[in-house]
Structure 1
Amino acid sequence: MMTVLLDRRRGLAAVFDGVGSGPGQLASQLAARVMRRIWKQQHAESSIIIASEQLTLADTLLHMFNEAHRVIRLEGERRARRLELYNDYPATTAALTLFCYDDTTHVYHMFYAHVGDSRIYRWRPGEPLQRLTEDDGYLSLKIADGSVTPEDALRIDQAFSRSELTRLEKSYFDNRNGITQALGHEKSLIVHIGDIDILPGDRILICSDGIHDNLTDAALAVLLEKEKRTTIAKKIVQQAIECSHQPTSENMRAKSDDMSAIVVTCHSSF
């Protein structure tokens, strides 16, 4: 169900987590294919773009997501007519980053966008791990209707043992994987877009929910700080898999799922 998109030369990295089995795999592959094609058309040069070039990355991101959503919806309609499966439409989450170099400030800049519950994090030496995305999910609905505060939602999301939560909070935790947005969903698409500067030493983690369901932000921060650049993504996936195989009364995070992670490390200035 997972598809990873990585174009090192053009500064593109993304994770797509398909919803369901067969249809989800189809949706994740379609999304990756469409977004890669658009990015190559927008930026034919095989190198990190310069921010002063005439290219509005936020608009490009929105176009990439909307076009992928449209293509997946069309394929879902064709599939439904052909197979008469009208309740099994393809859909996928998406978390995508685009990197460029600002030749006026001499720093890297990252634009990012996401739909669903795949996440993007930034780790910077000496600072707490920063989650750049907010899940389109059940806990966000609970925040919106006033059932929980953002602080309590974060505490529930990061809980490791059931003893840390009340009975009501446990029910929120158990339902936190329900997503409210995905590419291919019938409802209108809301794409979340942001941008930040990237400094030497920064690490960007893009991952599916199989990673952050099993590993807390604290565990991810340790891995991002300690592991080598060449092995860090593999180590994160391995540790998430190990956690998923160890369900206990004190480890309620253990969950079998597809797990993918990309880690981008900024070495130095351009």
Structure 2
Amino acid sequence: MPELRTAIFLDFDNLVSGLRDGAGSEVALRFAQQPEIWLERLLEDRPRRALLRRCYMNPAGVLDDEAGSRFRYGEFRWAFMAAGFEVIDCPRLTRLKNAADLRIALDAFETMLGAAPCDEFMLLSTDSDFVPLLVRLRAADRRTRLVAHPEVGRIVRAAADEIIGLDVLAGWLGWQASPEPGEAFGAASPADLLAVVRDIMTEAQDPVHVPHLGQMVRNRTGQTLRGSDFAGYGSLDALLTAAGGFIRRDGPGGGHVLRPEWADQPPAA
């Protein structure tokens, strides 16, 4: 079997958050402090040479462990450098968003066109925004491997050659799934997410702010709407239509979601 020339692009904030929500803060901390453990498992299934290893991180991000200790993401820089990663600072551009996904897309595309092109691109992120990049890499005859939430939507799954679930990655770090409710990994199917959105909107007395809808879905299911590729429908508008004909009205912070009978009402002041 020929040796693959591999490029690894890690959205650190995204993976740490996904592991924390799905397997607990101790597993997320082990991921951050001992990258050599999971990296070895990630590369071992066939001959590879990881020519490029890049970790995109907001150094001001915070991870709290179960004992209440607080770790700044910047404290993990040395561990990733010791594992051969180039660490690239991606501070937040807004209250909720940094530039890691855009930087990864640009750097991956540049690598694809480079003088020593890679055969395989590994993206470690649960962000469905990478679908266009995955499609473009495939069109350029590059193998793609995505480490993401195990319930990633079918559009994302179809765009990658291989998916490794965060539950598998957590298992490499010593995590074992519990039969008790509350585990985020695999807890909610697309049908479950639709039902939760339907329940939230049925219970609502007023239009629901889009970020608030996302937070309520996450609180009830352990999944994010974006991380589930909007329950596999590819967009929020498509999910809302499937859930019950709900309507998104544009506005600050992503706008509001309305029940159909509210559509003719003027926007709230």
TM-score by length of 1: 0.27
TM-score by length of 2: 0.27
